[in-house]
Amino acid sequence: MNLNTDFVDKLRNSGLRPTKQRLKICEILFDNDKTFHFSVKDLSKIISQKLGEKISLATVYNTVHAFEKKGYLKEISINSNQTYFDTNTSSHHHFFDEKEKKLIDLKNEDVDPINIKKTIPGKKIKSIEVLVKLDPDNY
Amino acid sequence: MNLNTDFVDKLRNSGLRPTKQRLKICEILFDNDKTFHFSVKDLSKIISQKLGEKISLATVYNTVHAFEKKGYLKEISINSNQTYFDTNTSSHHHFFDEKEKKLIDLKNEDVDPINIKKTIPGKKIKSIEVLVKLDPDNY
DNA sequence: CAATAGTTTAGAATGATTATAAACTAATAA
DNA sequence: TTATTAGTTTATAATCATTCTAAACTATTG
Ligand SMILES: [Mn+2]
Ligand SMILES: [Mn+2]
Ligand SMILES: [Zn+2]
Ligand SMILES: [Zn+2]
């Protein structure tokens, strides 16, 4: 298990103990090369499917927030009844499929750079995010 | 009360009965020329301040959603534990002051038109919104 | 192994929002 | 006007995502 030792290192290097719960969540989140967008509910479902053992919901929340704090996950701004996270922590924009409730990454080249011409005294720009909502073609 | 009859008409024309609760909320939301961004909590607070009589929280929710359905209010996409509404129902972008938890409109001329070069088969773009998060200058 | 700090967990608590159902009221017809 | 109806308000309960709590468990270190 080459990957597993990678995750152990990743966690240790972040000051997080490599527990089996965290390693399992790492495998789900970071084992593939694709960006993964998810809610805690999504993640819990995947865990209970791919896993013999259960991980407590509190632990899933703890882990996701720990990973977010360490910069391995990013929270995404969409209006929903639940919070979404993103394994792509770079600054990027999204489609949001309102029917499927799924986020889709937009690549940098898919959107021209956003230039904000207004400034607010005493404030600086922290992030610029474009959210493109999608509906079915016929609607 | 010229305004009040205006609101009565507005409500009647929308098929909503002009109750005193709705008229009061109209005054708070639509009486000024400025865009008003608010959460239900904000609105409730203003109501209890500016008003002798109380309006039930359920009614505030009902009214806000009724107005939204009629196109007098728009829900705004930000990651927060509460939903925000906007009296500016046109398509426009926002600053979000993360410290004050306040939304600020960006005018059309403040942001160059956003051009999305990617398409998703079977889906069409419903809206494009930019959210610019602000932090204090020193941070 | 022993001591410690960090982690997991079930379950309780919180807080925004929605649902319920009874009381109330505006609109309409008689 | 009055009666009828449909729409509205309201207190309260229910829901649901998320956070808190405190006790049990475990990785780390000496
Ligand atoms: Mn978070
Ligand atoms: Mn709504
Ligand atoms: Zn993404
Ligand atoms: Zn606005």
**pLDDT of res. A2:** 56
Tell me which nucleotides of strand C come within 7 A of a protein CB. Answer: 6-11, 15-20, 25-27
CB B60 within 8 A of CB B47: yes
Average pLDDT on B117-128 reads 95
- Give A77 Cα–ligand 1 centroid separation in angstroms: 11
Number of residues that make up chain A: 139
Q: Which helix (H) or strand (E) holds A3?
A: helix A2-13
Nearest protein residue to nucleotide C20, judged by CA and C1' positions: B58
CATH 1.10.10.10 placement within chain B: 3-84
Give residue A3's pLDDT: 65
The answer to whether the CB atoms of B77 and A78 lie below 8 A apart is yes
* pLDDT value at B74 more than 90: yes
Beta strands per DSSP E along chain A: 37-39, 74-76, 84-86, 93-97, 102-106, 123-136
The CATH number of A3-84, from 3.40.228.10, 3.40.50.300, 3.20.20.140, 1.10.10.10, is: 1.10.10.10
Low-confidence ranges of chain A (pLDDT < 50): 1
**Does at least one atom of strand D sit less than 7 Å from the CB of A45?**
no
Select the more confidently predicted residue: A80 or B105: B105
**Cβ < 5 A residues, ion ligand 3:** A 86, 88, 105
- pLDDT of B2 above 70: no
- Indicate whether B42 pLDDT > 60: yes
**B116 and chain A: CB distance < 8 Å anywhere?**
yes
Average pLDDT over residues B25-45: 93
Whether A116 and chain B come into contact, CB under 8 Å, resolves to yes
pTM of this structure = 0.90
